[in-house]
Structure 1
Amino acid sequence: MSETIPDPATPAADGPGAAPRKLQIALVDDDRNILTTVAIALQAEGFVTRLYTDGETALKALLDNPPDLAVFDIKMPKMDGMELLRRLRAHSRLPVIFLTSKDDESDEEAGLEQGADDYIAKPFSLRLLIARIRAILRRAEPPGSPARAAATPEEPLPASLSRGRLFMDPARHLVTWAGQPVSLTVTEFLILEALALRPGVIKSRNQLMDAAYPDDVFVDDRTVDSHIKRMRRKFKQVDPSFEAIETLYGAGYSFNDG
């Protein structure tokens, strides 16, 4: 089932002089109370919300008419959030935030392994959720888009980056290794960029978290470890001998290709 909580301000049509398009957030959770509470809070922040109570209905809608970002609960009937994300990632890099059980660390790691951009443990703060949504949207959208316009101040994207066999183009969210494309999430891209900007320099987990989450949003250490683990797996699918991201136990990570 899907539904939309009425929004008092209808988005203006695109065109000269028209107001910027409102950003759409899809919420997928079988708990109607959570859906309603989060939707009202997001609408108060200027977002348009699309609500789904099961994964099967949500998957078709997200592929047919993608929103700007989606928030998934993990434990749902018919199709749980993990399976929903797995199927979505086969066709889309839509930014996704997972809602996980507070005491189940395996949910958090599994969600990141499947390609989630972030996770928040229940019970969660609406203020924290909105901060993470805004942070991911600003990183995912190109300059001039409504999400980037909401960032203060606007920061120019860095130029393309070449380090050995690695090539990164932030403007196109493009990553290649030895000429082969590697599909990274926004968070993975920013962590890799922070490492590649200074080859051989050890970056602590805190420094990598600051690069990927620049809005003073709390993220714990194992989140970075999970992102690194998943990145390595993606690069090894292109090059089984990939070893450019090095772990320095107790210190952090570094990038060195050759």
Structure 2
Amino acid sequence: MSTQQDHILIVDDDRDIRNLLADYLEKQGLRCTAAADGREMKAALERHRVDLIVLDLMLPGEDGLTLCRNLRASGTHANTPILMLTARGEDMDRIIGLEMGADDYLPKPFVPRELYARIRAILRRARALPPNLDAQPLAQARELRFAHWRLDTVNRHLIDPAGTVVPLSGAEYRMLGVFLAHPQRVLSRDQLMELTQGREADVFDRSIDLLVSRLRQRLGDNAREPAIIKTVRNEGYVLSAEVTPGDPQGGAR
């Protein structure tokens, strides 16, 4: 973790909550900026470098889901981690938030200590790299091309060889992004868990295997003899295709 203070932007229309969270997080060594709505959030993002956004779902004007979607579609803040808060606890709100690109979701009421733990986990996940592996310098590419497929990183769309958009969940998008950042390199289940979920895999956790299986289905990859995401026995998984940057509007660069 960097020795520089991580800067957290808290977006919530409840002044008491903003102040409570800012005071607590600053005591934990974080730097905080507070905003009451989308307009103040955008102004803060123009003024400051922000490491993570704590974004309330229920806001006046543009709600948190709209703001999250717009941030993910923007070039400047498309990869800024987002932790979404809401007073509503329905599963559908959580699912929609994650599908819009939120990195995590915390229902109100919550204990500030739990929020801090979630923030630390998200930041660790966002910065994690497998040991001795450096990601290819593709993070700023508007489009990534592999095996006749394209991933539009601006709109977070997967596009098949025929030009059809294939929908991805937030978890599928993050997993594919990890593979595309480390092509032709074997990634263990532990590394994939850390990079996508910010935690270690336990021996009974099959979520990585299930997610890889779902990605293969999206890519039309034969489960018995996959050609794009291959299994390396007793080691993990590898994206076997070459990855090149491109531009959704202008073709490969």
- TM range, normalised to the smaller chain? 0.5 to 0.7
Aligned to 1:73: 56
Q: Is the 8 A contact 1:191 1:208 kept in 2?
A: yes
1:158 matched residue in structure 2: 133
Residue aligning to 1:82: 65
Task: Work out whether 1:136 is the aligned partner of 2:119.
Answer: no
CA distance in 1, matches of 2:220, 2:69: 26
Alpha-carbon spacing, 1:112–1:48, altered in 2? closer, same or farther (3 Å): same
Q: 2:89 aligns with which of 89, 93, 103?
A: 103
Inter-partner Cα distance in structure 2 for 1:198 and 1:102: 40
> Which residue in the other structure is 1:31 paired with?
14
1:21 match: secondary structure: coil
Deviation at 1:60, TM superposition (A): 3.3
Distance 1:32 1:122 in 2: 15
Quote the residue 1:213 is aligned against: 197
Deviation at 1:213, TM superposition (A): 3.0
Alignment deviations for residues 38-68 of structure 1 (CA, whole Å, 9 cap, x no partner) = 1111101111100001112212322453411
CA shift digits 1:153-173 (9 cap, x unpaired): xx635356xxxxxxxx4x754
Letter of the 1:158 counterpart:
L
Aligned partners of 1:56 and 1:84 also within 8 Å: no
- 1:125 aligns to what? 111
Partner amino acid for 1:191?
A: M
Q: Which residue of 1 aligns with 2:38?
A: 55
Q: Does structure 1 residue 191 correspond to structure 2 residue 166?
A: no
Measured in 2, the distance between the counterparts of 1:89 and 1:190 equals 13
SS at structure 1 position matched to 2:54: strand
In the TM superposition, what whole-angstrom CA distance separates every residue of 1:178-233 from its partner, at most 9, and x where no partner exists? Answer: 47454379965763448x9779x9x8xx997666334479xxx9x99xx99xx96x
* In structure 1, C-alpha distance between the alignment counterparts of 2:138 and 2:170, rounded to whole Å: 11
Q: Assess, with a 3 A threshold, how the Cα gap between structure 1 residues 207 and 46 changes in structure 2: closer, same or farther.
A: closer
Q: Deviations over 1:87-109 (max 9, x none)?
A: 22221221111012352222111
Q: Which has the higher contact order (CA 8 A, sep 6+)?
A: 2
Asked if structure 1 preserves the Cα contact closer than 8 Å seen for 2:54 and 2:84, the reply is yes
Gap runs ≥5 in structure 2: 157-168, 231-239, 242-253
TM-score (norm 1): 0.58
**In 2, Cα distance between equivalents of 1:60 and 1:44:** 25
Structure 1 residues 128 and 208: alpha-carbon distance in aligned structure 2, compared to 1, 3 A threshold: farther
RMSD: 4.5
**Structure 1 unaligned spans of 5+:** 1-18, 144-154, 161-168, 247-253
Distance verdict in 2 for CA 1:198–1:73, change over 3 Å: same
